[in-house]
Structure 1
């Protein structure tokens, strides 16, 4: 199995620290607002990676954190006249529900900074003890100039970074890229006691502490969106490796951006879509399929056209599965074996889901030529353990007697060459939520 490692900028053979065991840490959302499709994409991409390891009989320790304390959370809680705890508990439930709809498996551990304060403070103490921090009026900072490998993940040269940034006149930091480890609290803000004063942790230290607690150091895979490479993941490495002098994580995997009609999705552009809004219009499995149709590293264009295309493609797979399930035949075993081999080959090559899906469609075409078969159903259901499209839960739509009668009337009208009546009946059937597909074998009724 090969994976693209952001740290080395190349595909590498995946070698777990412990045989047949994989430890994965993925940065989750800050839970102060509804989740958008970018959150959904990252969760689905790493769910597929996790499922594939499970399919290959690896034992998985999967950690997915929720950030439940930061400036945005405090601002929104104040605006809504509520507590940060009540606000984050509300949105934690909403995120859990959205991920469940997308058929994302629950993590092994779901830590939150407010519940991990002892681990966070202990790690900061170690950083301070090793001489990688300094105190300012507003908190304790990490001194990036003391960590010689700073920039190794994002491949940024610090002198070049400094040349492109204006330092404010009142900036007291030693280096512009230095970041806060412990932020001293203002009056009325949530805070915790610490050796540096009452306050709260910086964003980056939370993930260093939580990954170390649940996975140790080093662990196998650290994941997240490409927007987290710098500074978040770069800073995690600096914190963790300054203390332990060991590699933080062996493989760094980053999923691509979500674009909306070829523009980067953002609130400022007004093209921001929450998962909730999308699920009102499309089945979550259509959204999941659309995410799988792009390679996890590539940008994905979130548009109505792509959603409709995903819907049609998924419908085709679902229809095949339902027909194959009822088949009494068996198809050629060589086709089954070659399909599975090709599917695994693409997944072994940095989790190439678009090519793996192309293998599925080629199999459907070839299987249909052979008249379909129950063993074809078994293969698709087996591979869906990786795809997670809930194909094993499909049931044929119950067609109302009224619709069946109208279909018979339309068939008679077509035989009588009464095209006007046939078209009217087709439209009336559509109004009831069904469409008719005409073929040489006759009429086929499908739910819209």
Structure 2
């Protein structure tokens, strides 16, 4: 089985070959814990979870690292607003994040370092970069000197002006060059701070990940895979590469793996628009496996446009899969996963194609025990346990606009002689617990509750 991944740094799909043939190292940027996890956070965890499962099926050992950022100005702001400590806020939302991710069937990483537990390693890494001449001290700040690192920009492929426009930092007086970034910054009484050779302060965002990676895999080791949202390509991951390559003789990372953004009705999620969808809110009305399947419905490199139909279609599929397997009894931990699902996912984690494969199996599963077993096991590999009764599909809220839209599409299909599509829409409505009747040229419907 050959695994191919799109490598962002080379802008092409490549065969994955780890540094060590028996061991894979993988790091994914985890959450900044200052608020409730939303569907964007969930996608950023579900996609690497699929990769972790795939890698684990082939290699003897997979070291999966996902950090917790529990030092950040946003956390401090949340603490000040609620009259809580930074630790109160970060501890609360770390627990909520863990609970939400467990609900979605996400396997815990091998290591989950916190920034607050890694301060000594971060300080040592900064001192190392200073000693090697790639950083400087200015106005109580320690900054990375991007001019000294000649390959800066190799990941994002941005020119100087684009870097300045795209950076999430101010152009401050203490910088030699506007694109230089902070490794350590001073803290006042309202911010968390640690003693360091440069005074009481806290680490910059970018050095946190680099330090935690090196502390776990070794300073002179190369990370196989680094993942995260594509919004992190610049400046975060660009800066990680600069730091990592300068503090070690080993290449920082070989494969860069990025997932697309989650949109809501084609708009970015934001508090100002009031369109932020929280995982805990979804779990009130939808089963975890319904949510998980919805998060896998678009290819990971593409944006996922979340609409009412996204979750409804996922609900329809889960209902269809469960109906097709009936009461069949199959081991929940198969000794060998169906090779076809492995082959599909090995081609750059093609989850839409994997879902198509599940749907194909479900068409024959009612009358074929082998296909039913394949369906159960293939779904299980995706983290979807069709046999777990505790994951029963919850009743969705009735969306009358969507129901009427589907009925209109069905009637149009019938009038055009496309009876196959009309039947598919009827099946979807049935899965939504909507019963329809055609009476005197008009279609009426009713919702069938439990």
Could you say whether these structures have the same fold, taking a TM-score greater than 0.5 normalized by the shorter chain as the test?
yes
Q: TM-score range by the shorter chain?
A: 0.7 to 0.9
Q: Which residue of 2 aligns with 1:384?
A: 379
d(CA) in 2 for partners of 1:239 and 1:292? 33
- Structure 1's 170 and 6: CA in aligned 2 closer, same or farther, altered over 3 A? closer
Deviation at 1:396, TM superposition (A): 11
Q: What is the correspondence of 1:246-395 to structure 2 with a 5 Å cutoff? A: 246-325=250-329, 340-368=338-366, 371-373=367-369, 375-394=370-389
SS of aligned partner of 1:389: coil
* Residue of structure 1 equivalent to 2:45: 43
Could you give the per-residue CA deviations for residues 406-430 of structure 1, whole angstroms, max 9, x where no partner exists?
A: xxxxxxxxxxxxxxxxxxxxxxxxx
After superposition, residues 81-96 of structure 1 pair within 5 angstroms as 81-96=83-98
d(CA) in 2 for partners of 1:159, 1:265: 27
CA-atom RMSD in angstroms: 2.7
Structure 2 counterpart of 1:218: 222
1:395: how far off?
7.5
Aligned partner of 1:407 in structure 2 is none
TM-score (norm 1): 0.82
What's the offset of the Cα at 1:281? 2.0
Residue 136 of structure 2 is matched in structure 1 by 134
By how many angstroms is 1:178 displaced? Answer: 0.9
Matches of 2:322 and 2:288, distance apart in 1: 14
Aligned length: 392
SS in 1 for 2:151: coil
Q: Matched residue of 1:207: which SS?
A: helix
Structure 1 residue 246 displacement after superposition: 2.2
Question: CA 1:313–1:235 in 2, change beyond 3 Å: closer, same or farther?
Answer: same
SS at match of 1:25: strand
Distance 1:57 1:132, change over 3 A: closer
Matched residue, 2:70: 68
72 and 179 in structure 1: CA distance in 2 versus 1, 3 angstrom threshold: same
1:333-380 Cα deviation digits (max 9, x unpaired): xxxx9x944433221110101111111211222344xx231x333322
Report the alpha carbon displacement of residue 388 of structure 1 after superposing the two structures with TM.
0.3
> What TM-score does the superposition give when structure 2 sets the normalisation length?
0.81
Distance 1:169 1:221, change over 3 A: closer
| Helix, strand or coil at the partner of 1:360 | helix
Distance 1:382 1:76, change over 3 A: same
Q: State whether residues 31 and 92 of structure 1, in contact with CA within 8 Å, keep that contact through their aligned partners in structure 2.
A: yes
| Uncovered stretches (5+) of structure 1, i.e. residues with no partner | 327-336, 398-432, 439-445
Q: CA deviation at 1:77?
A: 0.9
2:338·2:377 contact (CA, 8 Å) conserved in 1? no
Aligned to 2:395: none
